[in-house]
Chain A
């Protein structure tokens, strides 16, 4: 049977294979996704981000188990960094989600950031759509919240949970510096440790500076002991309900789609340059010319853009 039909029937091997094919930019899979795109969009997508080791996987495991009590089918996409030197990766998020492996209502997929053109966000948004069509009602995306590309990944989500932990003073600084804005809900995990109240207060203080309509709730959790999970999920649902009022949800999805589109355009242009021998050579030449001040970068970039239009 066709992969597309099998996916529509909720065949997990088809879902798994299609995700790989999309990761590998397989034209057949891309064609299938063109055909099936209109069937996606039903799942609610929750991004889980935060610094390395904050407990994102443990928290995801517990949130998924909580959601599963309602019987809803769940998808999880867990992204880990790829080694820039070898292209290899150790994807270890499943270690904290072992129990989910025997639940037929849960599909967990690990992805390496791979660092290739257009970045991981394109592959993750494809995986989100595939799991959506596969029948997941909730999809969780776990990513490391450090750089811009990771932030882009959670731009695939309807609600983003920013996970913090006590005792990382600098960490809050880092979050402040760029990725703070993307949190719709804040979780202070490892609240069994000293300093959780202080971390929560610091986050609240930062949120005081924002005058957005939605005030992100800050929830204390102890993921390892499943403490505070219900309350955290209730906060996610509150955000969801807030988004459902007066069209905010579709505006957010349009904003995400806009981001996705522009990223795709960018990566397609770069691909067209680099996958074409003569043009790729020109890129190298211009790079040297820019370095040696033969040409300025603006002029060089304009020439390259012209060459693909």
Chain B
């Protein structure tokens, strides 16, 4: 039975575009995607600027400007299923580092005409503003997981996107633990799986690109990293990267604040 093709919209907020690119990266599978859905709005791929409503919307990026804070409500109203993609959209991204500092101070220092800059004091995830149906993590997202989410949405089932630790991916692919065998600082035990274990397979610790796993014991990991010789400021920095604003990572960094 032929399905009427659902309409897909891809919107960008404050972000680097890397996650949207993952969709273009799907190459061969992208053809299947275009057969399964009508790409009705995707500025990175086509100049066709079609209006909503959309059946499925992918949202990349965080809410960082007053304009974005309004736009996201319009996107929500015009869409059926709203899926956020990437660390920016799901936790605020690297730009959420500004949440911990005085933004006005930055603007005064960086721009010759600070009066032209219109920005919010924080960078926040989409789910802080509107209801989100599914959050796909990663910096950038994994294209196989993206296809799985689109696929599951089209077929009316729950996406298979595990929320357990990155360690399970390392062990499943046979990677030797860099923390145990080399004493490297690694966020893997508190980070959600999804990347396939990229960094440990390249003999480095995990940077936490996929954000906190389902039940992250960041305090236990911090204690261990200290015992392995990491200074509190290094551990602080480890938790303050692409997912600095994710609650578990933010709280752990804050608890180290006085010793940084």
The answer to whether A and B assemble together is no
